Structure formats: C-alpha cells, structure tokens
Amino acid sequence: MGEHCWEQVVPEETQYIYRHYSRDLPLGERPAILAIDLYNLVFEGGSRPIRELVDRYPSSCGEVAYRAIEPIQAVLEAARRRGAPIIYTTGSPQAEGGATHRKDQPRDPQAYAIFPAFTPAAEDLVLVKSRASAFFGTPLIAHLVRRQVDSLIVVGESTSGCVRASVVDAYSYGYPCWVVEEGVFDRAPLSHQVALFDLHHKYATVVHLEQALQALA
C-alpha cells in the first residue's frame, strides 16, 4: 500500500526498536467515520504555505489542509454509499478553555462551522467539544453504542493534537481505529509524521486512502 510518511524522519534504529509494536488492527463490520475539526478556521487564507498565512490566520493549516480535501471527500462519499455513520466534531466560541492553550481563541461562531467542502448531511452528527478529544465531555460514546458501531475510521486535524487525543481515547474505550494518512494533517510536518508513527505503533492502524476505500466498499 506504499510507504508511510514517517519513514522520512524517524531513524531506522527507532523503527527497528518499535517493529514488535507495528500491527494491522482489523476494521469491524460496522465502522463509523470520525471527521475531526474540519471547520472554517483551518482553511482560512486558501491553499498557501502556512508560513505566509500564520500572522493573519494563526489557526490556518494552509496548503496541507487543502491537499487533504479530496481524500477526505472520498472517504465520506464511500461511507455514505455504505450507510456508515459520519460524525463530525467542531469547537465553540462559548467553550471554556479550548482544544489547546492557544491564547486568542476565535469568538466568531462561523469560524467553527464545518467547511463547505464537507457540509454534513441531515443524517450526520455534529458534536461540539471543548477539549482535544472527541470523547471528552461529549455524548460520542452513547451515539456509537446506539448505532452499534464497532470501529472508527479517522480523518481531520490536527494529527498531533485532536486526532491523536481522540484516537488514544478510542483505544481506551476499546474501539479499533484506522487513521487515513492522506486524510489527516497538521501545521507542522514533523509533528504530523511523528504523531502518525506513534499512533500506528501504539493505538491504531495508519492506512492509506486506497485501503480505507476498499474497506468501505
């Protein structure tokens, strides 16, 4: 299915040390899609290098966010054809604190609306969270149990932040997770690569888009 992005930065010795932890967790028969924080803030300023945007748009992920649009859309479309549940998370300007310790949390509600490229359908669920994990302080578990979901396919951002926190919690609750490498992104390439390496060797299976689409077919 192709090499993984962390192979560019994780030393061969470290990859060797962790070889016993790498395994492919099987996806269940009733997967759901967990689309994390695909809100307008992340796409502000357009498809440009983040360094050109960060002074004006400190929450933007720039061109890496835009590169993930088509892969994420493909996962969502495959899930709809299968009838698999799709669950979005977002933030809120009214939330106490936030997903990170960023000092100037945006206060415009529209900033947290799901980006138009991923507009939720009527049957999709949108959960508002106040911390990094999709599970913390939300009814996510109740919805997964009600829909008899037995595994999760994860897309969204940021890989080292809310994606990682949500996947670790999913593992703690006993849900096998697939993380779609082309469908997650981060402001810092190194953080993205190392987070995927850690998740793949400890809490999830990092798959390429093609594998996720085959599983959903």
Catalytic residues: 162
User: How is residue 99 annotated by DSSP?
Assistant: S
Token digits of residue 65: 């966010």
CB 65 within 8 A of CB 188: no
3-state secondary structure of 85: coil
3-state secondary structure of 185: strand
Beta strands in the chain (DSSP E): 31-36, 86-90, 125-128, 151-157, 177-185, 205-207
Q: Are strands 86-90 and 177-185 parallel, antiparallel or unpaired?
A: unpaired
Distance CA 46, CA 37 (A): 17
Token digits of residue 125: 């669920």
